[in-house]
């Protein structure tokens, strides 16, 4: 038997492409040679490689094999607030933007990414949240508001204030404070944002201090004739390192002193870190780690991010 014929066989799969160098099928991860627009695509799969052929309409997620887990909650700014403590990025939303606090049903793909399924009928809770947001009031004393809707309202208040104060934020950085903001309003939102800003500044100072302390190391690297990994494709090396972590590489960029900037998607969030291009040791994790960045390699970083998200202790410093 000629096994080469078997190995060269191809198949057709309709999959959600969310950007980056990989696409996740129901049971495995595939390499994407040429990136395309985000959406549902028909792919030709050969071995571990997938080639996009054409766009496909959104399938009925409830009919796909494996019975994808269902999530219910309320939408704000493309995020699904599932409860008072859980928030997820929703991918492949319809072109027509849903109103804030819209009840939404989504499904979790085997990769962990959450895909839009449908909007549900609204009730009085969503109307009350929109009215309170428009009048800059709170939900204090308002009954029959689900925890997911309260959290979504708290984030909406924080988002408005972050735009005024020019302090960027992700809902995963503030989900633990959303209920408090929903009850207390603008003053609580400003306290949360100023605290977030201060934590980021402290972390950036620690990173800058490490940069100065390691100047001698950088100078030694410049004097090398060629970094060890220069002969390899950086994107492929980094992509392979992230493959078993659940993260998906988006872009890579070589920096001076044999460093590299890595942008990847993990748990629906985008992260940017700086690593040693030779060893993939983390120099700047892009999140607050109290100066412990260099104790990690790139393939360990997603697990640390997951722990920070689960503990409501994620603070993003690079965007």
In a domain, 73, yes or no: yes
Q: Give yes or no for residue 225 having a pLDDT over 50.
A: no
Q: Give yes or no for residue 222 having a pLDDT over 60.
A: no
* Residues 28 and 88 both lie in one domain: no
| Of 197, 230, 252, the domain-final residue | 197
pLDDT the model gives residue 3? 52
**Confidence tier at 216 by pLDDT (50, 70, 90):** very low
pTM for the whole thing?
0.88
Q: Give yes or no for residue 43 having a pLDDT over 50.
A: yes
* Residues 302 and 229 both lie in one domain: yes
* Residues 251 and 289 both lie in one domain: yes
In a domain, 134, yes or no: yes
* Residues 227 and 262 both lie in one domain: yes
**Confidence tier at 45 by pLDDT (50, 70, 90):** very high
Q: Give yes or no for residue 130 having a pLDDT over 80.
A: yes
Say how far apart CA 151 and CA 125 lie, in whole Å.
12
More confident residue, 244 or 109: 109
* Residues 68 and 138 both lie in one domain: no
Structural domain span for residue 15? 3-55
**Confidence tier at 282 by pLDDT (50, 70, 90):** very high
pLDDT the model gives residue 231? 47
Q: Which DSSP symbol is given to 316?
A: B
pLDDT the model gives residue 266? 95
* Residues 96 and 155 both lie in one domain: no
CB 86 within 8 A of CB 114: no
pLDDT the model gives residue 213? 66
Give the strands of the sheet with 259-266, arranged side by side.
248-254, 259-266, 269-276, 282-284
- In this prediction, residues 108-130 reach a mean pLDDT of 95
Count of structural domains within the chain: 4
In a domain, 315, yes or no: no
Burial class from Cβ neighbours inside 10 Å (0-12, 13-18, 19+) for residue 72 reads middle
Task: Indicate the range of 36-50, 56-70, 279-293 predicted with least confidence.
Answer: 279-293
* Residues 221 and 261 both lie in one domain: yes
pLDDT the model gives residue 66? 76
In a domain, 206, yes or no: no
In a domain, 97, yes or no: yes
* Residues 136 and 153 both lie in one domain: yes
Residue ranges with strand state E in 102-143: 102-108, 114-119
* Residues 303 and 242 both lie in one domain: yes
* Residues 226 and 290 both lie in one domain: yes
* Residues 44 and 68 both lie in one domain: no
In a domain, 32, yes or no: yes
Of all residues in the chain, the percent with pLDDT exceeding 90 is 75
* Residues 218 and 299 both lie in one domain: yes
In a domain, 203, yes or no: no
CA nearest 89: which of 101, 76, 99?
76
Q: Using one digit for the tens of pLDDT, what is the confidence trace for 170-214?
A: 999 999 999 999 999 999 999 999 999 999 999 888 888 777 666
In a domain, 209, yes or no: no
Say how far apart CA 305 and CA 118 lie, in whole Å.
29
Q: Give yes or no for residue 13 having a pLDDT over 90.
A: yes
């Amino acid at each position: 038997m000629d096994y080469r014929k078997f190995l060269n066989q191809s198949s057709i799969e309709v999959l959600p492409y969310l950007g980056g160098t990989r696409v996740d099928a129901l049971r495995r991860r595939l390499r994407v040679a040429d990136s395309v627009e985000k959406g549902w695509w028909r792919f030709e799969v050969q071995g571990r490689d997938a080639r996009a052929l054409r766009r496909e309409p959104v399938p009925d997620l409830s009919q796909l094999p494996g019975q994808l887990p269902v999530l219910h909650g309320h939408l704000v700014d493309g995020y699904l607030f599932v409860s008072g403590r859980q928030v997820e990025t929703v991918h492949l939303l319809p072109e027509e933007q849903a109103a804030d606090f819209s009840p939404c049903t989504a499904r979790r793909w085997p990769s962990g990414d959450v895909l839009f399924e449908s909007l549900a009928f609204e009730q009085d809770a969503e109307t009350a949240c929109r009215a309170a947001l428009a009048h800059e009031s709170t939900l204090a004393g308002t009954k029959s508001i689900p925890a997911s809707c309260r959290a979504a309202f708290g984030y909406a208040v924080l988002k408005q204030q972050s735009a005024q104060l020019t302090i960027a934020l992700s809902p995963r950085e503030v989900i633990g404070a959303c209920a408090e903001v929903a009850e207390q309003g603008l003053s609580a939102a400003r306290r949360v944002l100023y605290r977030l800003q201060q934590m980021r500044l402290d972390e950036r100072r620690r990173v800058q201090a490490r940069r100065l302390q390691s100047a001698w190391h950088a100078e030694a690297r410049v004097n090398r004739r060629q970094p060890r990994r220069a002969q390899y494709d950086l994107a492929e090396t980094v992509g392979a390192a992230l493959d078993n972590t659940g993260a998906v590489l988006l872009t890579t960029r070589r920096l001076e002193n044999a460093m590299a900037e890595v942008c990847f998607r993990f748990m629906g969030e985008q992260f940017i870190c700086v690593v040693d291009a030779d060893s993939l040791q983390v120099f700047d994790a892009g999140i607050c780690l109290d100066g412990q960045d260099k104790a990690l390699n790139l393939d360990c970083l997603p697990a640390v991010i997951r722990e920070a998200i689960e503990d409501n202790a994620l603070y993003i410093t690079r965007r």
